[in-house]
């Protein structure tokens, strides 16, 4: 009897182990293709760039690429222009994400109410996101052109300015011009994602706040905002990372000028890698930039996670 | 359990589909029966008997640019018809990424056989060791037919590595209507630099057109891109300056350069010239009849016809002339150029040379001229009546004889020109003094060239 029970247990155990093994194999077979893609498109290139940053990689003599005793990093960290580019990048990223977030949130809140033609507005407002960066850059360059651009025409007609503003050509306004073009494009995606988040806020939470006598601002601040914090965290972090890498708008609209006023990290890296043919230094800038972003993303996640609330 | 089964089912469906796609091709081939099989065998035998085709590749930005895409295809097709033994594959890369992509391609062992580039790019490609010497690959007659000035632009360390193909000398354009309104003779272009400055000031004094748009006297590309720095060399020459000294060393900090910079600063400060603009914006202003005078290449006419929306009607108000004589007593200008080279790595340099000679031939150049009004730096072709069909082309052919090549002797030339553009921005939009800016720019370029 005892032996039968032991055998039975063993058989059941073997069956269980076999099922677990099968499940594991199935899980692995599902993960492997994604893993291979990840290795080929992200891991290997990142490792190559990190490796490249320690060697003297020059496009003019790629046949020899000797180890150069951290010279690329020393050269980057000693370069005043690197810090200035970094500061310009920070200014651009936070202004852009901040403005796009505020405008996106306002439109999302409006579209979350029962207004007429909601779908039409949503479609129209999402349109800029579907346009390629180069097109957006060209459109805004024309609109901001000093002498025949519509922006100066409108501002002059409203008597807001006396003289035409050289938006893209003046170091004082060039960065603002790129920020305006970026916000116009990115506000749409912020709006759509925040709107999706708003639609998941449980109605009972809002009703409870209403019954407790909370006014509109209190309901927004204490109920809605914390409920969509995970969405806000994801969308803003994604936009911060996208804008840190922004190259197209700067390259097309200003080329980093005038007088380096819009020379952000991506332009600085391009100049180091391709204009100066120094791929090693370009890679070192990229790695420094990557480390900053990893640290920033971790901190950002930690800080914003504290503000989240969960409906369940 | 259901999800798992569904996933397995989907994977199976995909796998079966792949297998079916693979079999489908075989089945399709087999469908024709024995007759087709016999025909295929015959074809294969015939193919085997033919000598193996030479295969060459050529990179350019022409086939990805709307204005030249068709003529480029026509020229390549003509080569294919005349040379059935050579297979040509063309690779189109956008102009803005051309230099970067070609450097990466070539230095990683994938160089094209025929490389097209402009003078600024070719010096970089040569520095990267991509280009092969052409003296023994291109016929002596072709080489002798090219203007010495132009040939020198593709010669580095005494070796010809880039052969000039199409050239764009910079000339002067002016708006006849604005000249007339400003009290100037619309049929008489300024002949000296001083006359040009005075004319520009008079046009700028008109201030606004009837729609309230600002009118400028003269416009130069002085912002954003290295190209602005490159064409500024012509203005430096007009002021008796230079970028390189007689020994070929960088000598940007000289009296002529300072005078040229001061000219830009004065004109911007006086409101005669728009600040911080590139050539595209200058063209827009000229086509919009808001600009009295500008410098541009021979492609200008086609550009203004299109931008103005007036087509050939615009020719009536557009005057064209040689660049006014400056300090040297000559009409000084530069030309930009499309050049052709052969990669050192090319497996079939002879076939590549054949393609280059085809593109340099009279028939192709004349055809290219018919469609896009281009000029060739060729002694024999430049004189042909087909290439001088009107006054406009005559002026540009004359300007070409007087134009100098860009001083692109170092792989970092493009970088140096970007520094020159930044210097122009500093004195024009940044309102800085000329002397320290020129001094600092000299140091920066020296540092770039020493690397």
What is the domain partition of chain A in residue ranges?
2-52, 71-305
Percent of chain A with pLDDT over 70: 96
The H or E element spanning position B156 is: strand B155-156
* pLDDT for res B39: 61
Taking only the tens place, the pLDDT of each residue in A124-136 is 888 888 899 989 9
Which of the two residues, A282 and B108, has the higher pLDDT score? A282
B334-342 vs B291-296, strand pairing mode: unpaired
Residues belonging to chain A? 312
Question: Is A62–B108 a contact, with Cβ atoms under 8 angstroms apart?
Answer: yes
Per-residue CA distances from B448 to A264, B267, B415 (Å): 21, 30, 8
Question: SS3 letters for B132-148?
Answer: CCCCCCCCHHHHHCECH
B200 vs B192: CA distance, rounded Å: 12
Looking at the complex, report in whole angstroms how far the Cα of residue B422 sits from the nearest Cα belonging to chain A: 5
Mutation to test the A interface, candidates B107, B131, B229, most A Cβ within 10 Å = B107
Q: Is the per-residue pLDDT at A263 higher than 60? A: yes
Is the CB of residue B17 less than 8 Å away from at least one CB of chain A?
A: no
Of B275, B288, B421, the CB nearest to A169: B275
Mutation to test the A interface, candidates B129, B224, B450, most A Cβ within 10 Å = B224
> Please, which residues have CB within 8 angstroms of residue B256's CB and are 6 or more apart in sequence?
B236, B237, B239, B240, B241, B242, B327
Question: SS3 letters for B342-381?
Answer: EECCCCCHHHHHHHHHHHHCHHHHHHHHHHHCCECCEHHH
Q: In this structure, are residues B348 and B79 in contact, taking their beta carbons and an 8 Å threshold?
A: no
Q: CA of B129: which chain A residue's CA is closest?
A: A60
A223 vs A203: CA distance, rounded Å: 10
Looking at the complex, report in whole angstroms how far the Cα of residue B138 sits from the nearest Cα belonging to chain A: 26
Residue B57 bridge partners (DSSP): B89
Looking at the complex, report in whole angstroms how far the Cα of residue B31 sits from the nearest Cα belonging to chain A: 36
In this structure, what DSSP letter does residue A224 have?
A: I
Per-residue CA distances from B393 to B187, B231, B305 (Å): 17, 20, 16
Chain A residues touching residue B96 (CB < 8 angstroms): 251
Q: Whole-prediction pTM value?
A: 0.77
B394 vs B169: CA distance, rounded Å: 12
Q: A246, A267, A269: which is closest to A72 by C-alpha?
A: A269
B113 vs B106: CA distance, rounded Å: 10
Per-residue CA distances from A262 to A85, A138, A258, B444 (Å): 8, 17, 7, 20
B449 vs B451: CA distance, rounded Å: 6
Q: Which residue has the tokens 């490796």?
A: A51
Q: Which domains does chain B carry? A: 54-168+335-405 (3.40.190.10), 171-334+408-450 (3.40.190.10)
> Please, which residues have CB within 8 angstroms of residue B312's CB and are 6 or more apart in sequence?
B305
**Longest CA–CA separation in chain A, Å:** 103
Tokens of B376: 């060739």
A194 vs A101: CA distance, rounded Å: 9
Work out whether the CA dihedral A96, A99, A101, A103 comes out positive or negative: negative
What are A's interface residues with B at a Cβ cutoff of 8 A?
26, 30, 59-62, 145-148, 164, 166, 168-171, 251, 254-255, 257-260, 271, 274-277
Chain A residues touching residue B93 (CB < 8 angstroms): none
Is the CB of residue B181 less than 8 Å away from at least one CB of chain A?
A: no
Is the CB of residue B422 less than 8 Å away from at least one CB of chain A?
A: yes
Coil/strand/helix, residue A148: coil
Q: State which fold the A71-305 domain adopts.
A: MetI-like fold (1.10.3720)
A141 vs A250: CA distance, rounded Å: 11
* pLDDT for res B363: 95
Q: In this structure, are residues A266 and A86 in contact, taking their beta carbons and an 8 Å threshold?
A: no
Chain A residues touching residue B277 (CB < 8 angstroms): 146, 169
Taking only the tens place, the pLDDT of each residue in A153-185 is 999 899 999 888 989 988 899 999 999 999 999
Question: Is A146–B274 a contact, with Cβ atoms under 8 angstroms apart?
Answer: yes
- Rounded to the nearest integer, the mean pLDDT of chain A is 88
* pLDDT for res B26: 37
The H or E element spanning position B439 is: helix B434-450
* pLDDT for res B17: 45
* pLDDT for res A113: 86
Question: Is B224–A147 a contact, with Cβ atoms under 8 angstroms apart?
Answer: no
B171 vs B188: CA distance, rounded Å: 15
Q: What is the pLDDT along chain B (451 residues), one digit of tens a residue?
A: 545 554 555 555 444 444 444 444 433 344 444 455 556 666 666 555 566 788 999 999 998 887 788 999 999 999 999 999 999 999 999 887 898 889 888 877 889 999 999 988 899 899 888 999 999 999 999 999 998 888 888 998 899 999 999 999 999 999 999 999 999 999 999 999 999 999 999 999 999 888 888 899 999 998 778 889 999 999 999 999 999 999 889 999 999 999 999 999 999 999 999 988 888 889 999 999 999 999 999 888 888 998 899 999 999 999 999 999 999 999 999 998 999 999 999 999 999 999 999 999 999 999 999 888 889 888 899 888 988 888 999 999 899 888 888 998 888 898 899 899 999 999 998 889 999 999 999 999 998 888 7
Work out whether the CA dihedral B81, B165, B125, A49 comes out positive or negative: negative
Chain A residues touching residue B100 (CB < 8 angstroms): 274
Coil/strand/helix, residue B36: helix
CB pairs under 8 A between A and B: 92
The H or E element spanning position B301 is: helix B300-308
Question: Is A60–B411 a contact, with Cβ atoms under 8 angstroms apart?
Answer: yes
ipTM: 0.70
Is the CB of residue B285 less than 8 Å away from at least one CB of chain A?
A: yes
Q: Is the per-residue pLDDT at A242 higher than 80? A: yes
Taking only the tens place, the pLDDT of each residue in A36-73 is 999 998 899 899 889 989 998 887 777 778 888 889 99
Is the CB of residue B104 less than 8 Å away from at least one CB of chain A?
A: yes
* pLDDT for res B36: 55
Looking at the complex, report in whole angstroms how far the Cα of residue A168 sits from the nearest Cα belonging to chain B: 8
Looking at the complex, report in whole angstroms how far the Cα of residue A170 sits from the nearest Cα belonging to chain B: 6
Contacts with A, B 44-103, CB within 8 Å: 96, 99-100, 103
* pLDDT for res A301: 82
* Helix and strand totals (H; E) in chain A: 15, 0
Residue A258: asked if its preceding bond is cis (omega within 30°), the reply is: yes
């Amino acid at each position: 009897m005892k032996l039968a029970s032991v055998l039975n247990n063993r058989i059941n155990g073997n069956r269980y182990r076999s099922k677990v093994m099968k499940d594991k194999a199935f899980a692995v077979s599902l993960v492997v293709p994604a893993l291979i893609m990840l290795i080929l498109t992200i891991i290997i290139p990142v490792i190559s760039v990190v490796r490249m940053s320690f060697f003297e990689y020059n496009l003019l003599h790629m046949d020899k690429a000797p180890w150069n005793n951290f010279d690329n990093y020393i050269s980057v960290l000693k370069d005043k222009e690197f810090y200035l580019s970094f500061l310009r990048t920070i200014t651009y990223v936070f202004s852009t994400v901040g403005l796009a977030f505020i405008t996106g949130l306002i439109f999302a809140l409006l579209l979350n109410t029962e207004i007429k033609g909601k779908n039409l507005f949503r479609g129209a407002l999402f349109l800029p996101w579907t346009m390629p960066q180069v097109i957006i850059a060209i459109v805004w360059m024309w609109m901001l052109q000093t002498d025949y651009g519509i922006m100066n025409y409108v501002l002059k007609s409203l008597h807001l300015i006396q003289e035409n503003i050289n938006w893209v050509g003046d170091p004082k306004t060039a960065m603002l011009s790129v920020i305006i073009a970026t916000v116009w494009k990115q506000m749409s995606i912020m709006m759509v994602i925040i709107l999706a988040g708003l639609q998941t806020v449980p109605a009972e939470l809002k009703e409870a706040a209403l019954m407790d006598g909370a006014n509109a601002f209190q309901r927004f601040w204490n109920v809605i905002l914390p409920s969509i914090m995970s969405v806000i965290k994801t969308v803003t972090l994604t936009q911060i990372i996208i804008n840190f890498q922004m190259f197209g708008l700067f390259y097309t609209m200003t080329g980093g000028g005038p007088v380096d006023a819009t020379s952000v990290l991506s332009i600085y890296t391009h100049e180091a890698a391709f204009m100066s043919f120094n791929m090693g230094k370009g890679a070192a800038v990229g790695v420094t930039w990557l480390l900053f972003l990893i640290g920033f993303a971790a901190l950002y996640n930690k800080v914003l996670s504290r503000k989240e609330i969960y409906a369940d | 359990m259901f999800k798992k089964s569904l996933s397995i089912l989907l994977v199976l469906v995909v796998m079966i589909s792949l297998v079916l796609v693979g079999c489908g091709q075989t089945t399709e081939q087999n469908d024709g029966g024995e007759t087709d099989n016999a025909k295929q065998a015959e074809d294969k035998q015939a193919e085997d008997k033919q000598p193996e085709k030479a295969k060459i590749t050529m990179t350019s930005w022409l086939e990805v640019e709307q204005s030249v895409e068709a003529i480029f295809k026509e020229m390549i097709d003509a080569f294919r018809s005349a040379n059935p033994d050579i297979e040509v594959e063309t690779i189109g890369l956008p102009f803005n990424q051309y230099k970067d992509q070609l450097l990466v391609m070539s230095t990683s062992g994938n160089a094209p056989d025929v490389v097209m580039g402009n003078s600024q790019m070719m010096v970089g490609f040569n520095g990267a060791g991509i280009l092969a010497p052409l003296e023994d690959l291109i016929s002596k007659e072709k080489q002798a037919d090219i203007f010495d000035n132009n040939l020198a632009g593709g010669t580095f360390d005494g070796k010809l590595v880039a052969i000039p193909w199409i050239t764009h000398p910079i000339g002067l354009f002016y708006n006849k209507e604005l000249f007339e309104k400003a009290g100037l003779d619309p049929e008489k272009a300024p002949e000296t630099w001083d006359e040009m400055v005075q004319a520009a000031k008079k046009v700028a004094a008109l201030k606004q057109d009837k729609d309230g748009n600002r009118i400028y006297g003269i416009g130069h590309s002085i912002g954003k891109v290295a190209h602005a720095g490159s064409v500024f060399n012509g203005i430096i020459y007009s002021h008796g300056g230079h970028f390189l000294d007689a020994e070929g060393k960088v000598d940007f900090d000289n009296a002529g350069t300072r005078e040229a910079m001061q000219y830009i600063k004065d004109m911007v400060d006086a409101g005669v010239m728009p600040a911080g603009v590139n050539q595209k914006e200058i063209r827009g202003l000229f086509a919009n009849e808001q600009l009295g005078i500008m410098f541009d290449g021979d492609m200008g006419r086609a550009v203004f016809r299109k931008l103005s929306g007036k087509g050939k009607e615009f020719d009536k108000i557009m005057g064209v002339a040689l660049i006014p004589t400056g300090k040297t007593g000559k009409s000084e200008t530069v030309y930009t150029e499309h050049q052709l080279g052969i990669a050192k790595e090319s497996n079939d340099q002879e076939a590549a040379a054949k393609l280059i000679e085809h593109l340099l031939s009279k028939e192709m150049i004349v055809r290219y001229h018919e469609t896009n009004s281009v000029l060739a730096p060729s002694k024999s072709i430049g004189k042909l009546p087909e290439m001088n069909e009107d006054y406009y082309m005559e002026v540009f052919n004359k300007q070409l004889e007087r134009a100098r090549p860009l001083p692109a002797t170092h792989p970092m030339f493009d970088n140096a020109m970007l520094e020159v553009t930044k210097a122009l921005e500093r004195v024009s939009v940044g309102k800085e003094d000329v002397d320290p800016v020129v001094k600092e720019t000299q140091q920066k370029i020296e540092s770039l060239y020493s690397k």
